[in-house]
Structure 1
Amino acid sequence: MREKIRRVLVVALGAATAIAMAVGPAQASAASPWANCPDGAVCLYPEGEDPPQYPSHTFWSYGAHNLQDQYNWHWILNNQYGGARAKLCSGPDGTGTCSDGMAPQTGWWVYFTPVNSVVLYLP
């Protein structure tokens, strides 16, 4: 990827765990395309696609985005900039148990079976 990559363990949505891949700190300027995820977007990739290549879902607007039929392991990349974050929630419309916010320029390898919505927001 663009910078040195390090692996960390995160806990997402209670008992489900995920391995997250974190890329160095976000730059002050706009992001650049990353694994075909456009600048300013959050991208979800097809089940089991590792490494991520072509997103199956691209989210652009702040707020909750409900998911259907997303199970097992997926990459989700936050290619937003300006401090914008994304979180994963077990319920629709950003309800239920939610993960910590995913920082800009960060990707997570997440077990999506309990995830029902992705929320984009500016803290």
Structure 2
Amino acid sequence: MRRVRNKIVTTVAAAAVVAAGSVLSLGGNAAAAEAAATIHGCPSGAVCLYPNGSWANDKPTYIFYTYGVHKIYNQIGTKRIYNHQTGGATARNCYDAAGTNCGGYQRANTYADYDYTPYNSIRLVK
């Protein structure tokens, strides 16, 4: 009986070590996936506007997640826009708040620095 009990304890301990290792590696992969999904503080699928013509310590001023027009207020001077959307979605800088008078297309996974003084909205388009 004692041999069987020792064998069970050893087997349970070994299983716990294997299970713990699996959880650790899973956590590591999940953390790596999350880190890859966010670039310069901009989550995957979003468009981010930074407070100046830099990555600003990976702290965007605005993060837009949905398609459509997003009003921006009091954005004076050079700002960086990063289109981190997926599926080929684009972003456009617009002169009016309604998002009807817009400039060129910012392609997915690209960034650019613009003088935002004349712009009043950003339009996300699929």
- 1:95 is displaced (CA, Å) by 2.3
For 2:66, the equivalent position in structure 1 comes to 61
Output one character per residue of 1:24-79: Cα deviation in whole Å (capped at 9) or x when no partner. xxxxxxx7321110010000011x25234210100000000011111100001000
Q: Does 1:117 align with 2:121?
A: yes
Partner of 1:71: 76
- Structure 1 alignment gaps of length 5 or more: 1-30
Looking at structure 2, the residues matched to 57 and 64 of structure 1 have their Cα atoms a distance apart, in angstroms, of: 13
Q: Distance in 1 between matches of 2:54 and 2:46?
A: 19
SS at match of 1:64: strand
Please state which structure has a larger fraction of its residues in helix. 2
Q: Which has the larger radius of gyration?
A: 2
Matched to 2:40, the amino acid is A
What's the counterpart of residue 92 of structure 1? 97
Query: Does structure 1 conserve the Cα–Cα contact (< 8 Å) formed by 2:93 and 2:121?
Result: yes
Structure 2 residue 47 is matched with structure 1 residue 38: no
Higher RCO (CA-CA < 8 Å; seq separation 6+): 1
Tell me which stretches of 4 or more aligned residues in structure 1 moved more than 3 Å: none
Rounded Cα–Cα distance in structure 1 between residues aligned with 2:95 and 2:84: 22
Which of 111, 115, 120 is the matching residue for 1:107?
111
* Same amino acid, percent of matched pairs: 37
- Distance in 2 separating the partners of 1:43 and 1:86: 10
Matched, 1:80 2:85: yes
Aligned residue-pair number: 90
Task: Provide, for residues 97-121 of structure 1, a one-character-per-residue CA deviation record: whole Å limited to 9, x for no partner.
Answer: x121111001010100001000001
